Amino acid sequence: MNAPAKPLRGVLSPVLTPFNSDLSPAAPRFIKHCRWLLDQGVGLAIFGTNSEANSLSVQEKRGLLDALLDAGLPAHRMVPGTGTCALPDTIELSRHAVKAGCAGVLMLPPFYYKGVSDEGLFRSYAKVIEAVGDARLRIYLYHIPPVSQVAISLNLIDRLLKAYPGAIAGVKDSSGDWNNTAAMLKQFQPQGFDVFAGTETVLLQTMRGGGAGCITATGNVNPTAILRLYKTWQNPDADAQQQALNDTRAIFQKLPIIPAMKAAIAWKSGDEAWATVRPPLVELTDTQRRQLQTELDADQFEIPNAASLAHP
Amino acid sequence: MNAPAKPLRGVLSPVLTPFNSDLSPAAPRFIKHCRWLLDQGVGLAIFGTNSEANSLSVQEKRGLLDALLDAGLPAHRMVPGTGTCALPDTIELSRHAVKAGCAGVLMLPPFYYKGVSDEGLFRSYAKVIEAVGDARLRIYLYHIPPVSQVAISLNLIDRLLKAYPGAIAGVKDSSGDWNNTAAMLKQFQPQGFDVFAGTETVLLQTMRGGGAGCITATGNVNPTAILRLYKTWQNPDADAQQQALNDTRAIFQKLPIIPAMKAAIAWKSGDEAWATVRPPLVELTDTQRRQLQTELDADQFEIPNAASLAHP
């Protein structure tokens, strides 16, 4: 019923999840935002860390994915996050994504227990692959130890690739450790294992190292410039482009980044509801918001066609 | 339909969750183990860290609680863990526990995002309390920063107690930091906020400090001796009892403790299926198991009536 998944390349964004004032997911805003991201050329890594996805129930995630599909958005541009603490939840979400025809899934390791072994993580991924039992399953491993506190080691990737070469498709490296990204690029990218930077601040380095692109939070608010570097990274101005990306990123990153991105969309779209976050996150204070706006103005920051993100 | 919850005291155990070989929860073994714990005088903190509860889906947790109730086990001896990453899951599980007549719920803070503010955690607990909207809800805060990586500060407890004195019932302190337990005992126990040690290794200190008891992993395997100290902590041999408890605990704790406890039950009951754990945990190696058995034999360790834990 859907085109077979094909290898992903380029810029994807962990799509922000808008909420209503009662903290329920705001599906119409979510659809608009996803459509807008696709219009900018950005792929949909829905249900990532910056999507507050682990603050959503399995049912809510299924419902939001179905809402996108019902709205006619193309599954082959979607890479839903499906990794949770609990094997049955990860299996259910992954199965649902594969059946929907998604290009892949971005899979956190189970992250409650700390200090677990590579053997235990291998078994976790293996169980999911075997339970889903579908040749279309393409897993992007999600390495984000600063948040998950559970790392995906090079040895684990090696073992998974040998056991499940068809299912293990790549990685999002959000370690913040360039040496780790470089090691993944060197050891695994030549095998067709696609390495995505976890932030656009190392996009140029990643492309020079043969990587596949980036999956980055600020794709939600600054897609044009990030995509331009992805497309023109061999141009003479690439380093200057990278510096400009870093400057914009720094403005968001010095604040709690999820509330900051939502505040920027609320501001530029005029739709205040966009600022809502789910606990345990907290929206920006007025002072933080003024700081954000002042610095973004100084950076001549714009969200193209921002009004289209407002609802209703 | 159920007796109102009354303040808990004594020794509770985060009940081990037995699995079948296909990794599905083994409800009949779970019922047997819970009944055995009650027979030993130990309360049922089902769905704790040592229950592998965060490796279970919401549906599985609901199903296991219902299985206990259907088997006639008393809800007023149960304190299910209901804290998850996602507000709707925490609300659903807490509502289900309250409706079942459980004595309380043990509630982790949302634990995916790290470095979150007390304000964000306050809002998380507040939202659950308001959404459950039932005066019978009694929350035991679950402070286990070595695993959750998200702490429950004294300031947060103070604020929650002032806002929701009826709902905030106590804490399980698994920080491993006696100074923190002592501070909680001093500041909050006099207000009727019940402080439970998170391990029996500080049970005597906790009782001397006016605490309510302990909620401890090894209650699953060594209940008699732990309960004896709880009941006789004012006796002259209390320090010697504490030392004996510590010696037994150390045997389990030098190994991965959940697989070790399950291996001990498999060994003593003769029911090998008990050794099964869900990924990302891994069962003991043969070498680890021999070490465990040798050291437990030297400790003259026994599980009373262990054969009753075997299934079928």
Structure ipTM: 0.96
Distance CA B94, CA B124 (A): 13
Predicted confidence at residue B6, as pLDDT, reads 57
Tokens of B177: 């930091």
With CB atoms and an 8 Å threshold, state whether B280 touches A120. Answer: yes
Residue A44 contacts residue A13 (beta carbons within 8 Å): yes
- Which residue in B has a C-alpha nearest to residue A127's C-alpha? B279
Q: pLDDT tens-digit profile of A172-181?
A: 999 999 999 9
- Which residue in B has a C-alpha nearest to residue A91's C-alpha? B57
Q: pLDDT tens-digit profile of A198-231?
A: 999 999 999 999 999 999 999 999 999 999 999 9
pLDDT tens, N- to C-terminus, chain B (312 residues): 344 445 689 999 999 999 999 999 999 999 999 999 999 999 999 999 999 999 999 999 999 999 999 999 999 999 999 999 999 999 999 999 999 999 999 999 999 999 999 999 999 999 999 999 999 999 999 999 999 999 999 999 999 999 999 999 999 999 999 999 999 999 999 999 999 999 999 999 999 999 999 999 999 999 999 999 999 999 999 999 999 999 999 999 999 999 999 999 999 999 999 999 999 999 999 999 999 999 999 999 999 999 999 998
Residues of A in contact with B119 (CB under 8 A): 282
Residues of A in contact with B92 (CB under 8 A): 57
With CB atoms and an 8 Å threshold, state whether A59 touches B88. Answer: yes
Check residue A45 and report its DSSP letter.
-
**Amino acid in the structure at residue A84:** T
With CB atoms and an 8 Å threshold, state whether B86 touches A57. Answer: yes
Across A54-76, average pLDDT: 98
Q: Give the closest residue to A11 by CA, choosing from A304, A251, A219, A288.
A: A219
- Chain pair A-B, CB pairs under 8 angstroms: 115
More confident residue, B219 or A2: B219
Is B151 at the interface with chain A, CB within 8 A? no
SS3 B55: helix
Predicted confidence at residue B43, as pLDDT, reads 97
Predicted confidence at residue B4, as pLDDT, reads 42
Predicted confidence at residue A7, as pLDDT, reads 65
Q: Give the closest residue to A212 by CA, choosing from A151, A169, A255, A175.
A: A169
With CB atoms and an 8 Å threshold, state whether A280 touches B127. Answer: no
Find the CB nearest A282 among B55, B120, B148.
B120
Distance from CA of A110 to the nearest CA of B (A): 7
Dihedral sign, CA of A171, A176, A178, A180? negative
With CB atoms and an 8 Å threshold, state whether A119 touches B282. Answer: yes
Predicted confidence at residue A1, as pLDDT, reads 37
Residues of A in contact with B255 (CB under 8 A): none
Residues of A in contact with B109 (CB under 8 A): 280
With CB atoms and an 8 Å threshold, state whether B88 touches A56. Answer: yes
Residues of A in contact with B116 (CB under 8 A): 280-282
Check residue A5 and report its DSSP letter.
P
Percentage of chain A with pLDDT > 90? 97
With CB atoms and an 8 Å threshold, state whether B282 touches A60. Answer: no
- Best of A19, A52, A57 to disrupt the B interface (most B CBs within 10 Å) is A57
pLDDT band at A57 (very low <50, low <70, confident <90, very high): very high
Distance CA B153, CA B107 (A): 14
Distance CA A205, CA A177 (A): 12
Q: Provide the CA A186 distance to its chain's centre, in angstroms.
A: 23
Predicted confidence at residue B126, as pLDDT, reads 98
Residues of A in contact with B54 (CB under 8 A): 85-86, 110, 112-113
Percentage of chain A with pLDDT > 70? 98
Q: Please, what is the Cα angle at B214 between B265 and B57, to 5 degrees?
A: 60
Across A284-290, average pLDDT: 98
* Torsion angle (degrees, nearest 10) of CA A82, A88, A91, A92: -80
Instruction: Compute φ and ψ for A173, nearest 5 degrees.
Output: -100, 100
Is B112 at the interface with chain A, CB within 8 A? yes
Residues of B in contact with A88 (CB under 8 A): 56-57, 59-60
